[in-house]
């Protein structure tokens, strides 16, 4: 990354009336959120996380799968949004037609001030009925130790009494159609798309920056390492989101801090 690249990206951002911010796992990792396979302890060391993230696994052993996701949710609760999350919220305030699209299942964007991010892969904080899909808010269990693996019986749906499942997208499931359609529409109509902390490998979500590029939008990428999105990005900034995003916001609108 060079100063001219940063200045160029900031100028492009400051001039764009319609902006999409697209975030991936690298954004959350900078807040200390374990990636899908990281920090496995206790009971979880005995299982392949990918094998737990399927409808079949939940049907076969709902207590095991629900416990795994409660562990993940409780772990996320200990993390805090970083300066990059707050910078994204600042972009949304500065650009009336800004849309935030995220692959992350945590609530760090919301806690940083983002109002209505489009969650392409669902959310750990939006459980729903496994049969009728009715949203079922679940109170936090403050006695649960995130570092301990536990089997936890899922609560029951108040409508149909079926077990409540985590509100995430499992392997073999389609992305939420409303969120995906809104994300594609935003990407197709934006002037600039800022992709942050995503590998560009997980489809169909990875298609979002490609849609923006095909429609003529400027794509700016923030990522410590090269990705397949390098080829469609007009500017590639190498480094952490927690440093680069606040700098972009500051320089784009000449904010003092």
Catalytic residues: 121
Would you state the structure tokens that stand for residue 54, as one six-digit string? 């399927």
Strand partners, 193: 20, 219
Is 96 annotated to bind a ligand? Reply is no
Q: Please check if 197 is assigned to a binding site.
A: yes
C-alpha–C-alpha distance, residues 249 and 84, integer Å: 10
Question: Which burial class, exposed, middle or buried, applies to 2 when counting CB atoms under 10 A from its CB (0-12, 13-18, 19+)?
Answer: exposed
223 is in an annotated binding site: yes
Q: How far apart are the C-alpha atoms of 12 and 116, rounded to whole Å? A: 24
The reply to whether 190 sits in an annotated binding site is no
72 known ligand binder:
yes
Distance separating alpha carbons of residues 203 and 207, to the nearest angstrom: 6
Q: Is 123 annotated as a binding residue?
A: no
Is 236 annotated in some ligand binding site? Answer: no
Distance CA(62)–CA(45), nearest Å, equals: 18
199 is in an annotated binding site: yes
- What's the CA gap between 222 and 204, in Å, rounded? 20
Contacts of residue 58, defined as CB under 8 A and 6 or more positions apart, other chains included, come to: 65, 66, 130, 163, 165, 170
244 marked among binding-site residues:
no
- Calpha distance 102→91 (Å, rounded): 15
CA-based angle 125:27:74, to the nearest 5?
A: 30
The structure tokens 């629900």 sit at: 66
Q: Does 198 show up as a binding residue in the annotation?
A: yes
**DSSP string computed for 150-214:** ---PPPB-TTT-PBEEEEEPPTTPPPPHHHHHHHHHHHHH-SEEEEES--S-STTTTHHHHHHHH
Query: Is 103 marked within a binding site?
Result: yes
Q: Which residues are documented as binding site?
A: 69, 72, 103-106, 129, 132, 157, 160, 197-199, 223-225, 241
Q: Which residues are documented as binding site for substrate?
A: 69, 72
Q: Which residues are documented as binding site for NAD(+)?
A: 103-106, 197-199, 223-225, 241
């Amino acid at each position: 990354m060079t100063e001219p690249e940063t200045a160029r990206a900031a100028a492009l951002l400051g001039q764009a009336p319609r902006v999409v911010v697209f975030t991936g796992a690298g954004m959350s990792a900078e807040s200390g959120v374990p990636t899908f396979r990281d920090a496995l302890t206790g009971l979880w060391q005995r299982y392949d996380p990918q094998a737990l993230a399927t409808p079949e696994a939940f049907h076969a052993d709902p207590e095991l799968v629900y416990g795994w996701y409660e562990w993940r949710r409780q772990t996320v609760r200990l993390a805090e949004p970083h300066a990059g999350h707050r910078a994204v919220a600042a972009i949304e305030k500065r650009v009336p037609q800004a849309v935030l699209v995220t692959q992350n299942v945590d609530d760090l964007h919301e806690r940083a001030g983002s109002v209505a991010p489009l969650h392409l892969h669902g959310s750990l904080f939006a459980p729903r009925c496994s049969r009728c899909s009715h949203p079922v808010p679940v109170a936090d269990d403050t006695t649960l130790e995130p570092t301990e693996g536990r089997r936890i019986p899922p609560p029951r749906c108040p409508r149909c009494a079926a077990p409540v499942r985590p509100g995430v997208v499992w392997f073999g499931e389609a992305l939420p159609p409303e969120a995906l359609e809104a994300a594609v529409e935003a990407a197709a109509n934006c002037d600039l798309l800022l992709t942050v902390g995503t590998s560009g490998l997980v489809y169909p979500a990875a298609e979002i920056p490609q849609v923006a590029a095909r429609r003529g939008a400027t794509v700016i990428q923030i990522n410590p390492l090269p990705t397949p999105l390098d080829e469609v990005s007009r500017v590639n900034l190498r480094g952490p989101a927690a440093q680069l995003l606040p700098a972009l916001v500051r320089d784009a609108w000449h904010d003092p801090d």
